[in-house]
Amino acid sequence: VVSAGTYGYRMDLVTLDDIRAAAENIRGLAVRTPVLPWLAGDGLALKPECLQPTGAFKVRGARHAVACLPADRRAAGVITHSSGNHAQALAYAARAVGVRCVVVMPEVAPSVKIAGTRALGAEVVLVPPAERESRMAKLAAERGLSPIPPYDHRDVIAGQGTVGLEILEDVPDVDVVLVPVGGGGLASGVATAVKALRPSAAVVGVEPEFAADARDSLAAGSVVRWPVERAYQTIADALRTPLSELTLAHLSARLDGIVTVSDDEIRDTIGRLARSARLVAEPGGAAAVAAYLYHRAELPAGRTVAVVSGGNLDPQLLRSLL
């Protein structure tokens, strides 16, 4: 565990009130997931965000960010360049309020992701990978679209923080919350809610060994980016992204530590969750559970909840793990 909290970054951090406002906004669109006792997990409980529409917690932040836009900007539509779970979540959130959503994707994106995003009513613009950001900026300016990034955004972080709020509602005496860290939006929001409501509880981030850039960033006090060829080794595609300045500031102030897990541990955990928790988790979604199963000695003791952050898994991979 690398201890955090000593990093002196000054930035306007999300507050508990921001998260409470998000909880109002997401009602009816995001599912109020329960906390599941997991008999095979020997004291571990699960927060199954893989059950959200579009299969990940991302719908919370996307919905809240769309809701927070001034009415005239919202009416003009939104845009993003994620090709992962955030893209489908934003398309879903935009469709729910009847506004246009444009998703800029690399030409090499899997056709199933392109089709999935289109099926939710979004316009998909395919570009060479290096042009994603510039094309998004250009389209946003031309069409008056509001960019909603996957994690580098206060409203998105506040939306993801509702996961922490709900954990505290259901398990007020929780001692440890385990949360996967990719770009850090989920961990930032969850840590904000949990530490505000129960300072004695520990919030621990979980990363794949192959993409432990958040651990390094917290230790360095600045955003450390791992080379793409290194981070892309991990099976946990949702956790390959680096932090942003904003999420680093949140995690520095509010996260109690980081634990890393191996890809083999993640694979084994996916099979165990399917067999005995009746949940299909994607690799990034299983990471926090893997930390509990394989690294308990590195964790604080006590009543623990792990966030199963997503479930968009290649069926062939699941098949191979059963």
Structure tokens at 10: 């000054």
DSSP 126-139: EE-GGGHHHHHHHH
Which residues participate in catalysis according to the annotation? 58, 309
Cβ proximity to a second copy: between 33 and 162 the closer is 33
Shortest spacing between CB 207 and a second copy, in angstroms: 22
Q: Rounded to an integer, what distance in angstroms lies between the CA atom of residue 148 and that of residue 181?
A: 19
What is the radius of gyration, based on Cα positions, of the chain?
18
Shortest spacing between CB 318 and a second copy, in angstroms: 6
Distance of CA 129 to the CA centre of its chain: 22
Q: At what angle do helices 185-197 and 162-170 cross, to 10 degrees?
A: 40
The two beta strands, 176-180 and 202-208, are parallel
Return the amino acid letter for 140.
A
Cβ proximity to a second copy: between 51 and 97 the closer is 51
Q: Which helix (H) or strand (E) holds 106?
A: strand 101-106
Shortest spacing between CB 42 and a second copy, in angstroms: 11
Shortest spacing between CB 177 and a second copy, in angstroms: 18
Cβ proximity to a second copy: between 34 and 128 the closer is 34
Cβ proximity to a second copy: between 38 and 151 the closer is 38
Q: In 10 A of CB 12, how many CB atoms?
A: 8
Cβ proximity to a second copy: between 32 and 143 the closer is 32
Residues at the contact surface with a second copy, assessed by CB under 8 A: 31-34, 36-37, 39, 48, 50-51, 53-55, 92, 120, 271, 274-275, 277-281, 311, 315-316, 318-319, 322
Structure tokens at 134: 């510039």
Cβ proximity to a second copy: between 184 and 311 the closer is 311
Shortest spacing between CB 98 and a second copy, in angstroms: 17
Shortest spacing between CB 144 and a second copy, in angstroms: 28
64 vs 61, 116, 145, 152, 269, CA distance in Å? 5, 22, 16, 14, 31
Q: Rounded to an integer, what distance in angstroms lies between the CA atom of residue 49 and that of residue 35?
A: 10
The two beta strands, 202-208 and 257-261, are parallel
SS3 205: strand
